[in-house]
Amino acid sequence: MQQFDLGLNLSTKKTRKREFLEQMQQVVPWQELVDLIAPYAPEGRKGRPPFPVEMLLRIHFMQQWFTLSDAAMEEALHDMALFREFAGLAWSSPTPDESTILRFRHLLEKHKLAEEIFKTVTQLLEEKNLLLRAGTIVDATLIAAPSSTKNRCGSRDPEMHQTKKGNQWYFGMKAHIGVDADSGLVHTVRGTAANVSDVVEANSLLHGQEANAYGDSGMQGADKRPDMPQPTQERQLRWHVAMKRRKRKALDLNHPIDALTERLEQVKSKIRAKVEHAFRVIKCQFGHRKVRYRGLKKNTQQLHTLFALANLWMARGRLLKTGRNMT
């Protein structure tokens, strides 16, 4: 008889994975997300009963957190007791295979439920006063895509594009985000090809209630674009964009005006730094440095899921400290 058959947990050490999953268990609004997806799930009137929606959603989220493919996720469920426990699977229960995991992801993509998951999480965070919407920081990051043509189609993804950053060329897509200037939480996500300029998407990343918007030097001219929101009596948007590096290096810090300008640039840089936290979570912690699918639509859907989970992870301290779970 195996130890697992006895239902005993003989490990005395709480691993980082277990601690991470325990925290996410408390902050993810499971019931709200299940209610969102359940109307689209198959009923399974014939044949084997379908797996519960919450179980498949938990498996889908673990794929995002640990950068697992459908096949790797199936194997992990067979190998790792921690993952089975989080998914709600007993050792004697049938395990979803990779085709079941794939069909659930296709279900989310077909009905654009990843965007709805992101909106649900954002709304719940706003209700808990974690999104103040007083200001927005906008930025973009490159996400690499395979540039090789050694595949079944014999070509690169036509929806991806190459772009030059510094002296290096990149091939892939861009993730554009709008971040709350106070909390650092993401409220808007857009995905484009890599050659789309940051300033093109700048005004589309605003939620419409902010009075101040912040961006790096790549956002120069955002306030002069035709999609710039028109001022009203209730709201007059003001852009705070960083100086070009060449102009900033030319400042004479011994001159009072230039010294004050440099100080203002430092203040703006400290505010803009919050946008990098969300990128760090999805790239360094969740491991999303390369696209997983072909086409912008599928990858943008995944970005919505990743940033929804990143928001919950970044806000976990405030949610757990106050003892207010998302459920």
Residue that finishes a domain, picked among 77, 111, 145: 111
Same domain, 57 and 193: no
- Assign residue 152 the CATH number of its domain: 3.30.420
Q: Residue 316 domain-assigned?
A: no
pLDDT for 2 equals: 47
Identify how many contiguous H helices and E strands the chain contains and give both numbers. Answer: 12, 6
Q: Report pLDDT digits (tens) over 118-175.
A: 999 999 999 888 887 789 999 999 999 998 888 788 889 999 999 998 889 999 999 9
Q: Residue 327 domain-assigned?
A: no
CA 119 to chain centroid, in Å, comes to 12
Same domain, 193 and 144: yes
235: confidence class by pLDDT, cuts 50, 70, 90:
confident
91 or 37, greater pLDDT: 37
Query: Is the pLDDT assigned to residue 19 strictly greater than 50?
Result: yes
Same domain, 67 and 175: no
DSSP of 186-246? EEEEEEEETTS-GGGSTGGG--S--SEEEE-GGGTTGGGSTTSPPP-SS---EEEEPPPHH
Residue numbers of the domain that contains 215: 132-296
Same domain, 205 and 60: no
Q: Residue 98 domain-assigned?
A: yes
Element (H, E) at 170: strand 168-180
DSSP code at position 283: I
Q: Residue 275 domain-assigned?
A: yes
Q: Report pLDDT digits (tens) over 178-197.
A: 999 999 999 999 999 999 99
Query: Is the pLDDT assigned to residue 14 strictly greater than 90?
Result: no
Same domain, 50 and 177: no
Q: Residue 119 domain-assigned?
A: no
Q: Residue 308 domain-assigned?
A: no
> CA-to-CA distance for 296 and 127, rounded, in angstroms?
31
Question: How many separate domains does the chain show?
Answer: 2
- Torsion, Cα of 198, 202, 146, 65 (10° steps): 130
Query: Is the pLDDT assigned to residue 46 strictly greater than 80?
Result: no
pLDDT for 5 equals: 53
Query: Is the pLDDT assigned to residue 231 strictly greater than 90?
Result: no
1: confidence class by pLDDT, cuts 50, 70, 90:
very low
Q: Residue 89 domain-assigned?
A: yes
Same domain, 153 and 258: yes
> CA-to-CA distance for 173 and 179, rounded, in angstroms?
19
Same domain, 87 and 187: no
Query: Is the pLDDT assigned to residue 8 strictly greater than 70?
Result: no
Same domain, 69 and 200: no
> CA-to-CA distance for 45 and 122, rounded, in angstroms?
35
pLDDT for 230 equals: 78
Residue 296 backbone phi and psi in degrees, to 5: -70, -35
Same domain, 76 and 166: no
320: confidence class by pLDDT, cuts 50, 70, 90:
confident
Same domain, 104 and 140: no
Its pTM stands at 0.91
Query: Is the pLDDT assigned to residue 105 strictly greater than 70?
Result: yes
Helix, strand, or coil (residue 304): helix
Same domain, 23 and 94: yes
Instruction: Reduce the secondary structure of 242-257 to three states and give it as a string.
Output: CCCHHHHHCCCCCCHH
Q: Residue 274 domain-assigned?
A: yes
Q: Provide mean pLDDT across the span 40-65.
A: 90
Residue type, 95: T
Same domain, 158 and 252: yes
